Amino acid sequence: MDEHPVREALLELLRTRDELTSTEAARELGGNTGVYSFHLRKLAEQGLVEDVPGTSGRARPWRLAKGGPTAELGELNRRLEDESYQRWRDNRAQAPVAWRKDEAFSEIVYLTPEEMAAMGDAIRSVIALFRHRETVPAARPADAAPVAVVARLFPMLDPD
């Protein structure tokens, strides 16, 4: 499993739509289309994405591979998130003072399926404002550091 940040960003985008071109990725994530085209091809080599059948030309659309390991990827990401958060909690006292506070929160709210989708879109939109800093280091403020952003929206199922 590849954990390259550009590839992770592309997979995250593809989880929210049916297909994606490198031009659309560059517009949404920042950077140039060549970077995204390269990484989409690498994801295809790993069996995670595939060409959209019946399309041709320069605007090459991609989609998540049918039967691909998306469930395994999601589980891996959740484990990495949990491990990273535990490491943060265990070592917070060694962090610079300005970085010792985290912004973890959890809420239960009542939403319709449409509202839940809209909330997910809003969260992704805020994240997108900063995502270009991953691939464009010059865009990072001098005191910026990597920060994990984790949001899980899911319906609370009745235990019965």
What is the structure's pLDDT at 141? 94
pLDDT band at 76 (very low <50, low <70, confident <90, very high): low
* Residue 60 pLDDT greater than 70, yes or no: yes
**Percent of all residues in the chain with a pLDDT value above 90, rounded to a whole number:** 16
Half-sphere exposure in the Cβ direction for 60 (13 Å, CA): 13
Report the Cα 64 to chain-centroid distance in Å.
14
CB atoms within 10 A of CB 101: 9
E strands along 23-87, which residues? 49-51, 62-64
Lowest-confidence pick of 12-26, 57-71, 79-93, 101-115: 57-71
pLDDT digits over 79-119, tens only?
A: 777 788 888 889 889 988 988 888 777 889 999 999 999 99
Quote the mean pLDDT of the chain: 83
Residue 93 is given by DSSP the state G
What is the structure's pLDDT at 86? 85
Distance (Å, rounded) from C-alpha 139 to C-alpha 133?
5
